[in-house]
Amino acid sequence: MIPLRDNIRSKNVPVVNNLLIGVNILVFLIQLTQGANEARFVYTYGLVPAKFTHPALSAYFGTASNLFSLISYMFLHGGFTHILFNMWSLWIFGDNVEDRLGSLRYLGFYLAAGLISGLSHMALNMNSQVPTIGASGAVAGVMGAYFLLHPKAKILTLVPIIIIPWLFEIPAFIFLGLWFALQFISAAGSHGSATGIAWWAHIGGFIAGMVLLKLIDRVPAAGLSQKIRSTTAKKTSHRLQMLHPGGKSGSLHLYDSLPITAFEAMTGTSKYVTIPQGFRRRTLRVNVPPGIKEGNTLRLRGMGRTSNTGERGDLYLTIQFVAW
């Protein structure tokens, strides 16, 4: 299952979440420039449990370097697929968690979740000399927080069945619940990090995210966070939307509403809407002209139902103003 987006629009631009994605990409590019020294680079800045338990290794790298690796490990990655999946998941789920916590508390939350994730991996692999790298634990923490914040949110998910891609809207508690169950099953079926994936770090991060949310959410937002929110409020709605139009029995015409912001109505916009029709999914581009009013209707000719004789009805979308 590949998540494409959720239907919970954050009210503010996720400044810290975007910054974290940028830093991860930057560090990964630096990692790629190491060439023959990449293995040493990863061993130095990755999380190696033996550096904390083996006196010789601990002395060689030094206390400061070892402590720094508890943070730096979560900004390294094992390849393009690894960082792509982590950053894509962070992009989908992180904005809503930052929206709830505020930028500064979210930064502390993210780093704390990654730290606890790393410590949970160390606790079960105290003598391992294999470096653990990646933002997976911290991202799992974000997913754990999202699980509590928006359990009924819909996750637009791409599910490749044989060679055909299918789009489904899956409730967040099912999507994330299945993800967590998969991590647990994989961890139970592996021995330590023998598979090359720190499954228990993912589990520890997910649980840490839920616990940290309850703790950090009680910390009052700093004045700086309020100032950041005042300048990062979003003025646009989702670019990709899932609609479920309906119509009278026997009619070929379909009806639904199209949510946009007042700013988009004033300036004009375009949206991609996905419409499920049985086992089929249609994606249409809808152009909204500038100056449109709430309650106005857009008519998409030939986009309604199709009769047995090939006659096609129209799709009518009523403009609905929303505030994110």
Query: Which of the 8 DSSP states describes residue 12?
Result: B
Per residue in 104-158, pLDDT tens? 899 999 999 999 999 998 988 888 888 999 999 999 999 999 999 999 999 988 8
The label of the residue with tokens 């089929």 reads: 280
Measured CA to CA, the distance from residue 74 to residue 138 in angstroms comes to 7
* Mean pLDDT within 88-100: 94
At CA 12, angle to CA 136 and CA 77, rounded to 5? 20
Which pLDDT score, from 0 to 100, does residue 1 have?
76
Measured CA to CA, the distance from residue 9 to residue 7 in angstroms comes to 6
Give this prediction's pTM.
0.77
Which pLDDT score, from 0 to 100, does residue 7 have?
84
Which helix (DSSP H) or strand (DSSP E) does residue 30 occupy? helix 15-32
Which pLDDT score, from 0 to 100, does residue 11 have?
82
pLDDT at 278 over 60: no
Higher pLDDT, 269 or 193: 269
Output phi, psi for 123, to 5 deg.
-60, -30
Which pLDDT score, from 0 to 100, does residue 157 have?
86
* Mean pLDDT within 83-102: 94
Select from 292, 312, 309 the least CA-distant residue to 301: 312
* Percentage of the chain exceeding pLDDT 70: 91
Higher pLDDT, 109 or 196: 109
pLDDT at 12 over 80: yes
pLDDT band at residue 45 using 50, 70 and 90 as cut-offs: very high
Q: Which of 86-100, 112-126, 222-236 has the lowest mean pLDDT?
A: 222-236
Q: Which of 25-34, 73-82, 142-151, 302-311 has the lowest mean pLDDT?
A: 302-311
pLDDT at 223 over 80: no
- DSSP-assigned beta bridge partners for residue 157: 3, 168
- Tell me how far the alpha carbon of residue 237 is from its chain's centroid: 17
* Mean pLDDT within 40-57: 92
* Percentage of the chain exceeding pLDDT 90: 51
Half-sphere exposure of 115 (CA within 13 A, CB side): 12
Which pLDDT score, from 0 to 100, does residue 240 have?
76
Mean pLDDT of all residues in the chain? Answer: 87
CB 3 within 8 Å of CB 92: yes
Domains, in order of start, for the chain: 2-232 (1.20.1540.10), 240-321 (2.60.260.20)
* Mean pLDDT within 31-51: 92
Output phi, psi for 295, to 5 deg.
95, -15
pLDDT at 281 over 90: no
Which pLDDT score, from 0 to 100, does residue 125 have?
85
Which pLDDT score, from 0 to 100, does residue 217 have?
76
Measured CA to CA, the distance from residue 282 to residue 73 in angstroms comes to 42
